[in-house]
Amino acid sequence: MINEKYKKDLESLEAIAIEQHYKINLSIILITIKCTAEELPEVIDYFSKKGIEILNEDVEPDCEEEEIDTKVVPFDPSKIDIKMDKITIDSIIKRIKNKELEFDSSFQRKSGLWTKKQKSQLIESIFLKIPLPAFYFDATNDDKWQIIDGLQRIGTIKEYVVEQKFSLTGMEFLKDLDGLKFDELPRSLQRRIEETNLNAYLVNPSTPKNVKFNIFKRINTGGLVLAPQEIRNALYQGTSTKFLLQMSNTREFIEATDYSIKKDRMLDREFCLRFVCFTQLNLDNYNGIMEDFLNQGMEYLNGATEEKLYQIQDKFKKTMKICKQIFGKFAFRRLNTEERRGPVNKALFETWSIIIYKMNDSDVQKLIDKRKELCGEFTVLCGDYSFQNAIRATDKTSVKTRISKIGKLVEKILDTGDEV
C-alpha cells in the first residue's frame, strides 16, 4: 500500500541511494516523502528490503564520490616512482627514536585503535617469523617519512619497543611471555624483533601530488580508513592544515552550521576548504573532479601570505554570519514548504558562500531585509528537479548550474524594489 502511494518518490530516492553506494540520509527521506508517523516504519522497511542503509546524520552524504579508477587527471606514468625495499624493524625503531616518521595529530589519533591483545599478537607473529603485510611510506622528505599504510603495526612497535607502554598479554603460542615488556624479554627475542625484515614500498618525490592522493585512497587499509580530508591533511602539512583548523573553530562557522558538522573525521575542515576553493580559485579551471579542486586549495593556502589568510578568515566569518542572519537554523540546507529541517548540503554551502562572498555591503543588507521573500523563492527552487540534480553532482556543468540558478534568484530579490 505504501509502495503504491509513494511509488514515484520511493523509486527516485532508491536511485539516489544506489548512486551513493546504497546509502541515503533519513532527512532526505523525510523531506521528499510526506508520510505520517504511522507510515514511516513501512517507508524505512522499503529501503531495508532493498539493501539500502539509512543514515541519520546532519550532513548530506556525497552523491557522486570520485571514482579513482576513472576520474584521475591525466599524468605522465614515467613520473610515478614507487620503490620496493627491504628494511629491518630496527631501522623503523631508529626513525621513531629520531622523529623521522610522521606521527601528526591526524594520524596519532588513529594509531591506538588496536587492543593490547591485538598488539601483543603482532609481536608474537614477529617471534614466530610470520611475514607481516607490506608497509607503504611517502618518502618525499627523507628526513620524515609519512605512513601511508601500516600505521597500527608501526604504532605497536613504537609503543612496545620504544615507549614500553604495555606488557604482552593474550599470547596464543608463547604464553610464557605474557606480562613481559620489551626490556624484560630475553636478548635473543629482542634481537629477533630488531632484525626482522619488512617489505616497504617508498613513494618517492617525483610522483605527482594528485597521484599520491590516489595512492593513499587505494592502499590505506588500516582499522579506520582515512577520509579524503584526513589524507589531504597528511599530504599538505603546513600553513593550510593550521589555517583550516582555525577556520573550523570559529564561532561564526559553528553557529552558521548549527553545530551540525562533525569534527572527528575533519569534515568541518573540508567545509572550510570548500569555502576557500570556491572563493579564491578560478572556477574556469575546475576540471569536474572535486578532490583535485580541493587539493589545489590546500596548495593555494600553503603559498598564501599572512595578509591574504587574514582577509580570507575575515570574509569567511562575515559570510557565515550573514548566512545565519538570513536562513537561521536552515542555513546551507534545502528548504521545503513544511519547514522540516534537512541536513547541511555541501553544494549549497559552496554556492551560498561564493555568492554572499562576492556581494557588497549594500546588497547584503537588502538581502537580509528581504530574507522572507528570499527563503520563499529558494523553497520553490529547491523543489525544481533540474536544481536538485545540480546539487547532487560535482561535474563542471552542475557546479556552474547551481551557482547560476541561486545567483539569478538573488538578483531577482534585489531587483524587486523596496517592498517585501
pLDDT in tens, 367-416: 999 999 999 999 999 999 999 999 988 999 999 999 999 999 999 999 87
Report if residue 60 sits inside a domain.
no
21-22-28-33 Cα dihedral, nearest 10 degrees: 150
Q: Which segment of 26-40, 82-96, 219-233, 310-324 scores lowest on mean pLDDT?
A: 219-233
Q: Is the entire prediction scored with pTM above 0.75?
A: no
Report if residue 110 sits inside a domain.
yes
Do 50 and 171 have their domain in common?
no
Q: Given a cut of 70, is residue 98 above it in pLDDT?
A: yes
Mean pLDDT of 90-101: 94
pLDDT at 9: 84
Report if residue 66 sits inside a domain.
no
CA–CA gap between residue 213 and residue 72 (Å, rounded): 10
Q: Given a cut of 80, is residue 153 above it in pLDDT?
A: yes
Q: Given a cut of 80, is residue 128 above it in pLDDT?
A: yes
Do 50 and 90 have their domain in common?
no
Quote the number of domains for the chain: 3
Report whether 164 contacts 54 (CB < 8 A): no
Do 289 and 188 have their domain in common?
no
CA–CA gap between residue 62 and residue 268 (Å, rounded): 14
Report if residue 221 sits inside a domain.
no
Do 297 and 407 have their domain in common?
yes
What percent of the chain clears pLDDT 70, i.e. is strictly above it? 86
Cα–Cα nearest to 267, from 152, 352, 354, 344: 344
Q: Which segment of 29-38, 87-96, 198-207, 282-291 scores lowest on mean pLDDT?
A: 29-38
Report if residue 217 sits inside a domain.
no
Report if residue 187 sits inside a domain.
yes
Q: Given a cut of 50, is residue 105 above it in pLDDT?
A: no
CA–CA gap between residue 415 and residue 420 (Å, rounded): 11
Do 277 and 388 have their domain in common?
yes
What percent of the chain clears pLDDT 90, i.e. is strictly above it? 52
Do 163 and 294 have their domain in common?
no
Report if residue 411 sits inside a domain.
yes
Q: Which of 164, 187, 206 is the last residue of a domain?
A: 206
Highest-confidence range of 28-37, 78-87, 328-337, by mean pLDDT? Answer: 328-337
254, 266, 318 from 323: Cα distances, Å:
12, 22, 9
Q: How many CA atoms lie within 13 A of 170 on its CB side?
A: 10
Do 196 and 284 have their domain in common?
no
Do 146 and 246 have their domain in common?
no
Q: Given a cut of 80, is residue 225 above it in pLDDT?
A: no
pLDDT at 83: 85
Q: How confident is the model at residue 149 (pLDDT cuts 50, 70, 90)?
A: confident
- What is the residue type of 176? D
Do 251 and 370 have their domain in common?
yes
| Domain of residue 361, residue span | 239-416
Q: Which of 206, 221, 248 is the last residue of a domain?
A: 206
Do 262 and 161 have their domain in common?
no
CA–CA gap between residue 83 and residue 75 (Å, rounded): 19
Report if residue 48 sits inside a domain.
yes
pLDDT at 54: 78
Do 91 and 196 have their domain in common?
yes
Phi, psi of 245 (to 5 degrees): -65, -45
Do 387 and 336 have their domain in common?
yes
pLDDT at 69: 41
